[in-house]
Amino acid sequence: MTSLSQTLFSNLEKLELTRMSAFLPNFMTEIEQKQLTFTEAMVTLTNEEIRFRQQQAVARLIERAHFPVLRRLGEFNFDFQPNLNRTQIMEFKNLVFLDNRENIVLIGNPGVGKTHLAIGIGIGIEACEQGKRVFFTACHNLLAQLRTAYEKGYIERIMRRFARYDLLIIDEISYLPIEHDEANLLFQLINARYEQKSTIITSNSEFSSWVDIFQNPTVTTAILDRLVHHVSVVKITGKS
């Protein structure tokens, strides 16, 4: 390696162009063999760096989303749930619902694939790949965080944090009854996101049963009013 080559690699490292630095040694042979012009070589190099950085950014978004597993929509077995509206599900993948600040509620018994769809529909992962900030949380974990923040005096800060996500996925509302204070906190969060950001909720209970979950008709009505104003409801009635 010539001194000029060493200087070039050193400069790339200093500029933190790590992918270009790793890609260049083999590419230098290609440049000579194909007699690429300076511009052609630089376009290829910079494209490689951009592609690498985009992949890194997506990987960070997926990591920060806290998905329990990584599942894509293409892995979902629609034959297992033949009553599911496949066209409706595939349309979600274009993420127009995010632009429209619409919500999605997936209702069905445990084991029918609600969480898989919530993640793989993009909606989780696809959203991350398009640069959207996504956060996945089990309902009981979310309520615990909100309750702790309220008790320790930083509820406004955590509300702002959850309100900023482009997509918030709340998994499994209905496994356990929700206390009155927690229901109020959840309403505040849903209200903060209302017509601003999109929320996906999975539940094994129909809306008519949510009053039993929240144990407060007034709060239940308020939550549903904000949630279903702009919503697509997916009912999964197949086997679990």
Q: What is the pLDDT of residues 169-220, one digit of tens each?
A: 998 887 678 888 999 999 999 999 999 999 999 898 889 899 989 988 999 9
CATH topology for 73-236 is: Rossmann fold (3.40.50)
- Amino acid at residue number 148: T
Say how far residue 86 (Cα) sits from the centre of its chain: 20
The answer on pLDDT for 153 being more than 60 is yes
Give the residue among 63, 73, 199, 204 at the shortest CA–CA distance from 142: 199
Q: Is 54 helix (H, G, I), strand (E, B) or coil?
A: helix
Domain ranges of the chain: 3-65, 73-236
Q: Is the pTM of this model over 0.95?
A: no
Confidence of residue 138 (pLDDT cuts 50, 70, 90): very high
Determine the Cα–Cα distance for residues 47 and 143; give it in Å rounded to an integer.
44
Determine the Cα–Cα distance for residues 219 and 31; give it in Å rounded to an integer.
67
Give the residue among 146, 134, 155, 140 at the shortest CA–CA distance from 199: 134
Give the residue among 136, 195, 131, 196 at the shortest CA–CA distance from 168: 136
Q: Which two tokens stand for residue 122?
A: 């993009």
